[in-house]
């Protein structure tokens, strides 16, 4: 049964990539494009910038920090909070769980701090 599930994931990804993908470049705000250009990110053709998310970029300090260390921190945070963001925010809040409200507020605060304070520092390395 698990094999069928894995096949569904594989073929679902193939179908989505080949038949449902939008060929147009991602439209972003001009102010954001100017700010990203200051960090060396100019390719906005995909969902994620190719200058950051590719195999050669993984071997740089910036790439290692964003991908490997970031993945470790996500796993640590999930374990420390007793669940993932969607589990707490959707299921926990819908059942009026006090710990899920606290966890969701902390997730949001951490996201704001990361996006506005830490990420610009990492991108400028």
* Encoded tokens for 96: 């009026």
Please say whether the beta carbons of 37 and 101 come within 8 A. Answer: no
State how far the Cα of 76 lies from the Cα of 73, in Å rounded to an integer.
Answer: 5
Domain total for the chain?
Answer: 2
Please say whether the beta carbons of 48 and 58 come within 8 A. Answer: no
Same domain, 26 and 70: no
Domain limits for position 122: 52-125
Same domain, 10 and 63: no
Q: Supply the pLDDT for residue 7.
A: 92
Same domain, 38 and 84: no
Per-residue model confidence as pLDDT tens digits over 72-104: 888 888 888 888 888 888 888 889 999 889 988
Per-residue model confidence as pLDDT tens digits over 7-65: 999 999 899 888 887 777 778 899 988 988 988 888 887 778 887 777 887 788 877 77
Same domain, 68 and 113: yes
Same domain, 122 and 63: yes
Same domain, 125 and 64: yes
Same domain, 26 and 57: no
Report the candidate in 122, 115, 124 with the shortest Cα–Cα distance to residue 65.
122
pTM for the full model? Answer: 0.60
């Amino acid at each position: 049964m698990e094999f069928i599930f894995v096949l569904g994931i594989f073929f679902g990804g193939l179908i989505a990539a080949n038949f449902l993908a939008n060929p147009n470049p991602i439209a972003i705000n001009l102010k954001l494009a100017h700010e990203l250009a200051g960090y060396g990110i100019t390719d906005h053709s995909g969902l994620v910038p190719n200058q950051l998310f590719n195999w050669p970029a993984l071997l740089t300090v910036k790439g290692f920090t964003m991908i490997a260390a970031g993945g470790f921190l996500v796993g640590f945070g999930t374990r420390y909070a007793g669940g993932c963001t969607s589990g707490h925010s959707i299921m926990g809040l819908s059942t009026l769980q006090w710990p899920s409200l606290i966890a969701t507020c902390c997730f949001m605060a951490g996201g704001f701090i990361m996006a506005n304070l830490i990420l610009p520092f990492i991108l400028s390395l």
